[in-house]
Copies of this chain bind each other. A is one copy, B any other.
C-alpha cells in the first residue's frame, strides 16, 4: 500500500520535474535487481521441493518475500525469453523468432545475423527517464553485432558475453566467445576466462558476483537509483563452478553451480542489508527457461512438470520466481498469480514511476498490486515455438494446439527433451495439430500434463469456451515483428570485436555467406 502510494508520488514528482517544478530532496525510486538464471528449472530450489535442499539463501529469500509457483517465461529458449524480459513483449512481436521451419525454436548463436531491433524499447532505455543507471552482468544474448551491443540499448555498463559459453573453439573455424567490459572485449572464454570442461572449474560466477557487488556499492555511494540485470549462466551447459564449490553438492556438478549461485545471491542480499538499502531495492529471481534435460541428462529439475527446455510443456516454461522487497512485500507469501517474465518489464517501470510505452503492444502486467496488495489478475499465458502458438493457459486450463518435442530423426539419435516422461499422444515426435480439438489439461489436478480432459466432458467445453476467444483476440491483434533469427553467416561471428587490437586478439573473418539458419527443433 505504502509503496503504491510512493510510486504515485514519484510519478507526480517526475511530472512536476518535467514542468520545471521539481522539489529537491525527492524520494529516490527503488533500485531494481533482476537475477536471471540460465536453464535453471522450477524444481531446482529447495523451496520448490528439490530433495537435496541446497539453496538456503534462496529459500530464505522466499521466506522473506513472495513465491510465485505459477510463473512463466515467454519462450522455452534463452534469447527470445531474454528479449521478452527486456521489452515486455512476446518474442513474436519483437522479432525474436524464426520462420525457417514450422514451430522451430531459435536463438542467437555466433553466426546469427539478427538481434534486438533498434525499434524495440528496452527496460534500461526507459528507466533512464527516471534517473536510473543500468548494468548488465553476464549473458546478453540479444545479438552480438555492433548495432546490438547492450550499451546501444540503454545499459550504461556491461560485464559479460554476448553468446553462450560453448567451446573451446580453435579461433580458426570459429572464434571463442568474447567477454566484454562495457564497449570493448577484455578476453575470450577458454582463454583469459578459462572454463575447464573436464573438472567443471571456472571462476565466472565469482567474477559476476564481484561485478554485482561493486556496481551496487558504487551506485549506493553516488546515491543514484540503479537497475542491475544479473544474467549469469553457470547452470547452462557446460555447467561450471569455482573450486570451493566443486564436489560439494549432493546433485553433482549442476548442484555445485546451483550452490555457488545460491551463495552469491545470499551475498548480494546481505550487501543490500549492510548498505541499508534493502528496503529500497526490489529484487526478483527467475530463470530464462526450464532445465535442459537433454544437454545434460542428470542436470536440473523441472519438479513435477513435463519435459524441459525447448518444449512448450510446463517443464519448458514454468519457472522458479521469488520477489523480495523487505518492508514492502510482506514476508512468507505465496501468490498464485499467473506471472510472466514480461511482467518484470512493466513492474520495473511501475517501480520507477513510469508508464509502459503506449505506441506498441505490451504483454507484461504490473505485478505491484499482486505483490503489495495480494490482487490476482486473470490473464492468459501464450506458449510459442517460433511463430507457432503451441498452447495457451487461462486459469487452471491449458490447451495445446500443437504438440511436439523433437523429430523422430533426432529422437532416434538420442536427443530426448522429455527423458523418462513419455506421455502417449502428448510428448509427440511428429508435430501434431490439435487446433480443432485442443488437448486440454487442468494444471491444478494434473500439473504433469498426463491426463487430457475428455473431449466429451462439459468441463472440456467450458474450458475451451474460456480459451477460444482469448486466442482469437490475440491472433487477430497480433502484428509479428520482422523475424530476426532466420539468417546466419559465419562472417558475422566475433572474429574481431572492439578492443581486440589492444589485446592482439583480432581474428580474420571468412568470406560473407549469408544462409538460412538451420533450426532442427
Question: Which residues of A does B touch, CB under 8 Å?
Answer: 43, 46-53, 67, 69-70, 249-252, 254-255, 297-299, 301, 303-304, 306, 334, 336, 396, 419-423, 426, 442-451
Question: Could you say which of B304, B419, B449 contacts A51, with CB atoms under 8 Å apart?
Answer: B304
Chain B residue with Cβ nearest A426? B420
A434 to chain B, nearest CB (A): 18
Q: Which 5 A-B pairs have the closest CB atoms?
A: A49-B49, A250-B444, A420-B450, A252-B445, A420-B423
A454 to chain B, nearest CB (A): 12
Determine whether the beta carbon of B304 is less than 8 Å from that of A303: yes
Determine whether the beta carbon of B447 is less than 8 Å from that of A51: yes
Q: For the complex, would chain A's binding face be called helix, strand, loop or mixed by DSSP majority?
A: loop
Q: For the complex, what is the distance from the CA of A255 to the CA of B426, rounded to whole Å?
A: 25
A464 to chain B, nearest CB (A): 19
A58 to chain B, nearest CB (A): 13
Determine whether the beta carbon of B419 is less than 8 Å from that of A422: no
Chain B residue with Cβ nearest A69? B51
Q: For the complex, what is the distance from the CA of A423 to the CA of B421, rounded to whole Å?
A: 7
What residues of chain B lie closer than 8 Å to A255, measured between beta carbons? 444-445
A262 to chain B, nearest CB (A): 14
What residues of chain B lie closer than 8 Å to A443, measured between beta carbons? 51
Determine whether the beta carbon of A450 is less than 8 Å from that of B69: no
Q: For the complex, what is the distance from the CA of A52 to the CA of B334, rounded to whole Å?
A: 9
Q: For the complex, what is the distance from the CA of A303 to the CA of B303, rounded to whole Å?
A: 6
Listed by A's residue number, 26 A-B pairs whose Cβ atoms lie within 8 Å are A43-B49, A43-B304, A46-B334, A49-B303, A49-B304, A51-B447, A52-B336, A53-B69, A53-B334, A250-B396, A250-B445, A251-B444, A251-B445, A254-B445, A297-B451, A298-B442, A298-B445, A298-B446, A298-B451, A301-B447, A419-B423, A419-B451, A420-B421, A420-B422, A420-B423, A421-B422
Question: Could you say which of B51, B252, B420, B444 contacts A249, with CB atoms under 8 Å apart?
Answer: B444
A408 to chain B, nearest CB (A): 16
Determine whether the beta carbon of A304 is less than 8 Å from that of B304: yes
Chain B residue with Cβ nearest A254? B445
What residues of chain B lie closer than 8 Å to A70, measured between beta carbons? 51
Known contacts A49-B43, A49-B49, A49-B304; is-contact A444 B69 (Cβ 8 Å) = no
A309 to chain B, nearest CB (A): 16
Question: Could you say which of B301, B306, B422, B442 contacts A422, with CB atoms under 8 Å apart?
Answer: B422
Determine whether the beta carbon of B444 is less than 8 Å from that of A420: no
What residues of chain B lie closer than 8 Å to A336, measured between beta carbons? 52-53, 250
Question: Could you say which of B51, B299, B444 contacts A52, with CB atoms under 8 Å apart?
Answer: B444
A142 to chain B, nearest CB (A): 31
What residues of chain B lie closer than 8 Å to A306, measured between beta carbons? 420
Chain B residue with Cβ nearest A52? B444
A62 to chain B, nearest CB (A): 11
What residues of chain B lie closer than 8 Å to A421, measured between beta carbons? 420-422
- Beyond known contacts A47-B49, A53-B69: 13 more, CB 8 A cutoff: A43-B49, A46-B334, A49-B304, A51-B447, A251-B445, A254-B445, A298-B442, A298-B451, A303-B304, A420-B423, A420-B450, A421-B421, A421-B422
Determine whether the beta carbon of B304 is less than 8 Å from that of A442: no
What residues of chain B lie closer than 8 Å to A51, measured between beta carbons? 69-70, 303-304, 443-444, 447
Determine whether the beta carbon of B450 is less than 8 Å from that of A297: yes
Q: For the complex, what is the distance from the CA of A254 to the CA of B445, rounded to whole Å?
A: 8
Q: For the complex, what is the distance from the CA of A400 to the CA of B192, rounded to whole Å?
A: 46
Q: For the complex, what is the distance from the CA of A447 to the CA of B303, rounded to whole Å?
A: 10
Q: For the complex, what is the distance from the CA of A445 to the CA of B297, rounded to whole Å?
A: 10
Chain B residue with Cβ nearest A298? B445
Q: For the complex, what is the distance from the CA of A326 to the CA of B389, rounded to whole Å?
A: 52
Q: Which of A51, A298, A299, A306 has the most CB of B within 10 A?
A: A51
Determine whether the beta carbon of A48 is less than 8 Å from that of B49: yes
Determine whether the beta carbon of B250 is less than 8 Å from that of A450: no
Chain B residue with Cβ nearest A293? B450
Q: For the complex, what is the distance from the CA of A504 to the CA of B56, rounded to whole Å?
A: 60
Q: For the complex, what is the distance from the CA of A419 to the CA of B450, rounded to whole Å?
A: 7
Question: Could you say which of B52, B301, B442, B448 contacts A420, with CB atoms under 8 Å apart?
Answer: B448
